[in-house]
Amino acid sequence: MAEIKQPTPDMQELYSEMLAQEPEKVTFGGKEYSIGWLHYANVRKFSHIMLKEKNPVKRNVKVCACVLLNHRWGLLTWFLLNICYGFYWRWLYYVRDIDQIEITKVLDCAKKKIQSEPLALNIILSTAMMDTMMMMAGHELGQAARDGEQPTH
């Protein structure tokens, strides 16, 4: 049986950063960027790029630009995505010709900044509250049981 050991100080610091939801620093193209929680507009743009772009290298550059344009102020994120995004990804793709390894570092950092668990829980909870769900009243449930039908709810 494996012996349980105390985590190292580096692991404790990483755990503390995750709990505090601090932005993560990543070096990209010689500059240091701070990657915080991704806004809905970024995740939406990210999904759109993944579905529409067929060239895998260009797709990775576009997604990386989308992540790097994320800002902690939502209005600024909207401005950057709608105004600067087209220029920025083209500059990264055609002028800078960035390496895929640098893109991988950014995307690895960004993957940790998507709040997927609360989103999944909200979808589950809101599905049960929809008014279009087929619900049976008590007398309908009893009648369905007498008729031998399988009650749905």
In this model, does residue 94 exceed pLDDT 80? yes
Question: What does R_g of the chain's alpha carbons equal in angstroms?
Answer: 23
Give the amino acid at 98: I
Give the amino acid at 126: S
Mean pLDDT for the stretch of residues 86-94: 91
Q: Within its chain, how far is the Cα of 113 from the centroid? A: 6
Mean pLDDT for the stretch of residues 15-40: 79
Decide: 28 and 105 in contact? Cβ < 8 Å. yes
pTM reported for the whole predicted model: 0.63
In this model, does residue 117 exceed pLDDT 80? no
Q: What is the C-alpha to C-alpha distance for residues 25 and 79, in angstroms, rounded to an integer? A: 22
**Phi/psi zone of residue 151: left (φ > 0), alpha (ψ -120 to 50 degrees), beta?**
beta
